[in-house]
Amino acid sequence: MIALRRMLRACWVPLAARAARGYVAGPDLEDALQICRRLSQQGVAGTVCYWNGDGDSPRAITDEYLGALAGLARERLNCSLSVKAPPLGFARDLFAEILEVARRGGLTVHFDSLAPETCDATFALIAESRARHPRLGCTLPGRWRRSIRDADLAVDLRLGVRVVKGQWADPGVPDLDMRAGFLAVIDRLAGRAPQVGVATHDPELAREALRRLRGAGTPCELEQLLGLPAGPSLREAAAAGVPVRFYVPYGLAYLPYALSKAMHNPRMVWWVVRDLARGGGALLPNGALAGGGPVAGRPRDVRCERL
């Protein structure tokens, strides 16, 4: 069985890695900036993030973040920067550099959410960073029980919040319903947070979350991940009259197709084949919705638990 698994992995990983290229703008910053220019022309905001490899040093990752901030400021694009604190080792000196460049450029720095055990260190860093730069944000996963408490902390720190379903399960409550948890976090933020990003490609969930936030008078937007089907969710944003933002990663193409899941879900093999057939290129919406937002072309059958 172990030998079979190794053989399957040897075949699966290269194919999945190639298919995953559709989830990043490309390997370099210029690839992401090109996408953001096209989004800007359609009146759509962006969030750029460098997806690092395991071998990247904290210094190298920091330099990527600094380069992204410089590019966004130079071109005056309506974009923010997302950062991942754990790969930088939560180094205060490195984040001081990032925040100073962001402050000078008037750009928002958003802290992505990774594994649950990194949350306390991430929020401690955010709290310390507020004195350097007030334009900060955080991500709260709906499938974590602690996100309700973290929502209160985000409100106290006056952070913009991106709400996602969540990629990692809560170790204490692994079966927590992601959709119910998502809306519970939305309810905790409604009427209290300065800005909420509804980051989901589930159109029904997006509709309900936007309804609750708008009903409470909370500024909100729909956020979509580059490369995933966006049409139905974008139509919900247009109907709600809220702006749209695309999360635009560049660098390493992470694998959305875990081998363990593929072995239990034969459809995932078909998803990889379809993504390979489209050539691994990032998908952007085209056309226009009422209000200037984009509308996607034909949706593609791609799955990603995080959104």
Domains of the chain: residue spans and CATH: 22-277 (3.20.20.220)
Residues 243 and 227: their CA atoms lie apart, in Å, by: 19
Cα→Cα distances 41→12, 69, 136, 239, Å = 38, 19, 25, 21
Q: To which residue do tokens 């973040």 refer? A: 65
Secondary structure E strands in 169-301: 196-199, 220-225, 244-251
**Which pLDDT tens digit goes with each residue over 100-142?**
999 999 999 999 998 999 999 999 999 999 999 999 999 999 9
| Cβ-contact 95, 131 below 8 angstroms | no
Quote the pLDDT of residue 203: 97
User: Residue 257: what pLDDT?
Assistant: 40
Does residue 160 contact residue 130 with C-beta atoms inside 8 Å?
no
Q: What is the pLDDT of residue 171?
A: 83
Query: In what helix (H) or strand (E) does residue 110 lie, and over which residues does it extend?
Result: strand 109-111
pLDDT of residue 307: 47
pLDDT averaged over 10-residue windows placed end to end, the chain, 307 residues: 56 51 82 96 96 94 98 96 97 98 97 93 96 96 95 98 90 88 98 98 97 98 92 96 97 56 49 49 44 34 35
CB atoms within 10 A of CB 191: 13
Q: Which two tokens stand for residue 4?
A: 């079979």
pLDDT digits over 3-16, tens only?
655 564 555 455 44
pLDDT attached to residue 102: 98
